[in-house]
Structure formats: C-alpha cells, structure tokens
Amino acid sequence: MSKVHLTARFVAKQGQADQLEKEFLAVVPTVRQEQGCLRYDLHRESKEGNEFLFYEIWESPEALKAHAQSAHMQALHESAQDLVGGPAQLTFWNALDRVDG
C-alpha cells in the first residue's frame, strides 16, 4: 500500500472567507478520526485571505476514496458550495524525504 499525499486548494468568494473557514474547521476533527487519515491540516493564506489549503496524507488510495465519499464530506460540499469560487485544485505529491517515513 502506498500513502497518498495531496494538497487541496480552495478560493472563497468575496466576503465569504470567514464563513468558509468556519465550515472547514468544523469538519477537521471528524476527518482526523477517519480510518486511514494520517495528516489533515488546514491553512489560510493570511488572517483576511481568501485562499485555503488542506495538506493531507492518507494511508492508501482506498482511504482517500472513503474520505471523499463520507457523509460529512458530502455535507461539507453541500454547505460550502455557495462559499467557494470554483472547484478545489487538487495536487498529488510524491514524498521524496520525510521525517516520519
């Protein structure tokens, strides 16, 4: 099984960044408890910025697929659809050198 490393970038619509931050922060603890979630970190470009970045590591492609299909992620997509200015920009990464393997 190979780990999956990815970033997911979102841009909030003008005036919606604070609400989007609340929506994202509400789901983070639940996602971190998912089977196969090794890392799930949320970042915002600045205190008033409109860009958000999730840095994620999943145990396997199957764990990531289960995450995407989970009820809480489906609910997040529904609640955030009017807050974001377009689809997420997903980037998958190959780990070359990591502290924790």
> Can you tell me the distance from the alpha carbon of 6 to that of 95, in angstroms, rounded to the nearest whole number?
10
> Number of helices (H) and strands (E), helices first, in the chain?
3, 4
The pLDDT score that the predictor gives to residue 3 is: 94
Of 28, 40, 38, 42, the residue nearest 73 (C-alpha):
28
What three-state secondary structure class fits 78? helix
Domains of the chain: 4-93 (3.30.70.100)
pLDDT tens-digit readout, 12-66: 999 999 999 999 999 999 999 999 999 999 999 998 899 999 999 999 999 999 9
What's the pTM?
0.92
